[in-house]
C-alpha cells in the first residue's frame, strides 16, 4: 500500500496563491509609497502584468526586499537603505524610463501599448547556439 502524501496538490495551489497575494500586497503597498516626478506623466501601464520584464523586475525587487527585511532583523540597520539604493533606484530607472522603458508605448489613461499600431509586446527573439559553440 502506497503511503499518503500529506502535501497534496490542493496545498500546493493554496501555497502558490498565498505567495502570489503576498507579492501583490507588497507591490501595491510599495507603489503607494513611491513618487516618480517629472515634467511629463510617469510612464505606467495599468496592465503592468502584461510586461514580462516588469513582472520579473518587480518580483526581484520583492525578493530582495524580503532579504533586506530579514537582514534588519539580524541587526543590519542599513539593509533597507541599501535596498532602496542598490535595488529600487536601479530598477525604477529602467521601468519608468520614458524613452526606452517597458511602458514607453503605454498610457495610464489610454491603456496597454496605446502608442503602437500592434498591441502585442515584442519579446526579443532568442535561438539556441549550435552544439559546437562553446559558451
Give the per-residue SS3 of 38-54: CCCCCCCCCCHHHCHHH
Could you tell me the pTM of the whole model? 0.76
Q: How far apart are CA 46 and CA 109, in angstroms?
A: 8
Q: What is the pLDDT of residues 14-60, one digit of tens each?
A: 665 689 999 999 999 999 998 876 667 788 999 999 999 999 999 99
Q: What is the DSSP string of 66-122?
A: HHHHHHHHTT-TTHHHHHIIIIIHHHHHHHT-TTTSTTTT-BTTTBTTTTSSS-SPP
State the residue range of the domain holding 79.
53-120
Closest of 56, 55, 77 to residue 68, by C-alpha: 77
Q: Are 116 and 124 in contact (CB under 8 A)?
A: no
Within-domain flag for 77: yes
Within-domain flag for 12: no
Mean pLDDT over 91-117 rounds to 90
pLDDT at 116 over 70: yes
Within-domain flag for 132: no
- Domain total of the chain: 1
| Mean pLDDT for the chain overall | 85
Cell of 126: 532568442
Within-domain flag for 110: yes
Within-domain flag for 31: no
Amino acid at each position: 500500500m502506497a503511503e499518503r502524501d500529506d502535501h497534496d496538490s490542493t496545498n500546493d495551489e493554496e501555497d502558490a496563491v498565498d505567495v502570489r497575494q503576498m507579492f501583490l500586497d507588497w507591490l501595491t503597498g510599495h507603489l503607494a509609497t513611491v513618487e516618480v516626478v517629472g515634467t511629463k506623466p510617469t510612464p505606467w501601464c495599468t496592465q503592468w502584468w502584461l510586461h514580462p520584464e516588469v513582472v520579473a523586475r518587480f518580483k526581484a525587487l520583492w525578493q530582495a526586499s524580503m532579504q533586506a527585511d530579514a537582514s534588519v532583523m539580524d541587526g543590519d540597520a542599513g539593509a533597507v537603505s541599501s535596498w532602496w539604493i542598490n535595488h529600487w533606484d536601479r530598477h525604477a530607472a529602467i521601468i519608468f524610463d520614458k524613452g526606452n522603458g517597458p511602458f514607453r508605448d503605454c498610457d495610464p489613461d489610454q491603456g496597454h501599448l496605446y502608442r503602437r499600431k500592434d498591441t502585442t509586446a515584442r519579446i526579443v527573439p532568442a535561438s539556441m547556439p549550435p552544439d559546437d559553440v562553446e559558451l
